[in-house]
Amino acid sequence: MATYLGIETSCDETAASIVVDGRNVLSNCLVSQIELHRQFGGVVPEIAAREHLESINEIIDRSLRQAGISNKDIDAIACTAGPGLVGTLLVGFSVATSLSFAWEKPLIAVDHLTAHVCANYLNTDLEPPFLALLVSGGHSQLMHFTDFVEAKIIGQTIDDAAGEAYDKVARLLGLPYPGGPAIDKLAKSGDKTRFPFPQATVDGFDFSFSGVKTAVLRCLEKLEKPWPTEDLAASFQAAVIGALVKKTLQAQKYTNAPKIVLAGGVAANSYLKEQMLSLSPVPVIFPVPEFCTDNAAMVASAAHFKQLKEGASCIAKSDAGLTVYSRRHSDKS
Ligand code: KG4
Ligand code: ZN
């Protein structure tokens, strides 16, 4: 049995969690900065980093307390190394490194995107292979997992991420940050056929969401106020989710993956789930909403499966140039 303390600070959530064997969540603690950033319409990196500093020690203490264990019971510390905001990542990474020295526990640095997919292992018995659709505020990727933590990227956005498109369109509509939950809710009472926003045609399994955002902007310029916000939200959502579902189903056919796994903040979207469940020829799995958006349980899970695969070689060494990263090399610029 291996107990991991997970730490996550890649954006605007300060999170710590205790997870056993990559699946059994003993505690999942989090302080969200959303209210603080809302007045700016998005995350302000400098403010986010300072807030992480304020909260991180208390959140780690709370995660241990809620799990009913002490630092002596931990086998390893896991933290996010990237992608994310460098200033915020550095807070979690520095604290994890210090605790690793002070408590004499190994440190395992994990990739945030892999961790999002690992959220699907929490409190379940899911096993690879599967096709994962990762849709967050910063990324939209189709990944073929043949192993617990290793995947081949077979498609990704060529411009905006799906969550980013939701946040930008919400802003145009005068809705609060983050835009995803607000649009999801409004769209439920809207007519999705009223504004036929375009789905971009992109080669292969890649996506593009900047066109639909511009189409909403052009439409608003012509509309008189008060805007039919529900219909606009539903029509925008139909275009974005329609593209995600179409490419995911094509990729499932191509890979012949026996399951589809959803991950990331946009995986909490009710219309995406409804569409995937009704149209997919294979089972569709998605995390409970608290594990879709940023959390530290997924980080602890990713570390466990990474250590199972790579053994001692995945343990971060202080003389090996420990570092955080804002983007993956494979990400398009
Ligand atoms: O995974 P996440 O918490 O952070 C990143 O790693 O980016 O994702 C945050 C994104 C935001 O863009 C937010 O608007 C979106 O997920 N989101 C949603 C929903 N809940 C969160 N998008 C659509 N529908 C939702 N219900
Ligand atoms: Zn995330």
Residues 50-100: pLDDT tens digits?
999 999 999 999 999 999 999 999 999 999 999 999 999 999 999 999 999
Average pLDDT, integer, range 156-182:
96
Give residue limits of the domains in the chain.
3-119+292-314, 127-286
Nearest to 164 by CA among 125, 135, 188, 142: 135
Torsion of CA 255, 256, 260, 264, to 10 degrees: 0
Q: How many CA atoms lie within 13 A of 189 on its CB side?
A: 6
The ligand placed nearest to the CA atom of residue 267 is: 1
pLDDT score for 305: 98
| Number of the ligand closest to the Cα of 298 | 2
Alpha-carbon span 45 to 185, nearest angstrom: 28
The CATH H-level superfamily of 3-119+292-314 is: ATPase, nucleotide binding domain (3.30.420.40)
- State mean pLDDT over 175-197: 96
For the segment 213-237, the average pLDDT, to the nearest whole number, is: 97
Of ligand 1's atoms, which has the minimum distance to the CA of residue 13?
3
With a CB cutoff of 8 Å and minimum separation 6, the contacts of 276 are: 245, 248, 260, 262, 284, 286
Res. 332: pLDDT tops 50: no
Sheet of strand 284-285: strand arrangement: 151-156, 140-145, 130-135, 260-263, 284-285
Beta bridge partners of 252: none
- Pick the more confident residue, 318 or 202: 202
Nearest atom in ligand 1 to 166's CA: 14
Atom of ligand 1 nearest to the CA of 170: 14
- Residues in the ligand 1 pocket, defined by CB under 6 Å: 11, 136-138, 163, 166-167, 178-181, 184, 264-266, 268-269, 293-294
d(CA 142, CA 206): 8
Q: Mapping DSSP to helix (H, G, I), strand (E, B) and coil, where does residue 145 land?
A: strand
DSSP code for 200: P
pLDDT score recorded for residue 327: 81
pLDDT of residue 316: 77
pLDDT band at 320 (very low <50, low <70, confident <90, very high): low
Integer Rg of the chain from CA: 20
Confidence of residue 194 (pLDDT cuts 50, 70, 90): very high
Residue 118 sits at φ, ψ, to 5 deg, of -65, -15
Compute the distance between CA of residue 119 and CA of residue 292 in angstroms, rounded to an integer: 7
Q: Which of 117, 293, 331 to mutate to test the pocket of ligand 1 (most atoms within 8 A of CB)?
A: 293
Q: Whose CA is nearest to atom 21 of ligand 1?
A: 265
Distance (Å, whole) CA 296 – CA 311? 21
For ligand 1, atom 3, the nearest C-alpha belongs to 293
pLDDT category at 329 given cuts 50, 70, 90 is: low
Determine the pLDDT at residue 35. Answer: 87
Q: Is the pLDDT of residue 282 over 50?
A: yes
Distances (CA, A) of 313 to 54, 118, 142, 158, 210: 33, 20, 27, 34, 40
Residue 161: alpha-carbon gap to chain centroid: 11
pLDDT score at 10: 95
Does domain 127-286 fall under CATH 3.40.50.1110? My reply is: no
Ligand 2 center from residue 102 Cα (angstroms): 28
Atom of ligand 1 nearest to the CA of 177: 14
pLDDT tens per residue, range 115-167: 999 999 999 999 999 999 999 999 999 999 999 999 999 999 999 999 999 99
Residue whose tokens read 């961790």: 115
* pLDDT tens digits, 233-243: 999 999 999 99
Is the per-residue pLDDT at 331 higher than 60? Answer: no
CA-nearest residue, atom 10 of ligand 1: 137
Cα distance between residue 27 and residue 3, in whole Å: 11
**Is 120:114 a contact under the CB 8 Å cutoff?**
no
Q: What is the mean pLDDT of the chain?
A: 94
Residue 319 confidence (pLDDT) above 80: no
CB 74 within 8 A of CB 61: no
- Would you say the CATH fold of 127-286 matches that of 3-119+292-314? yes
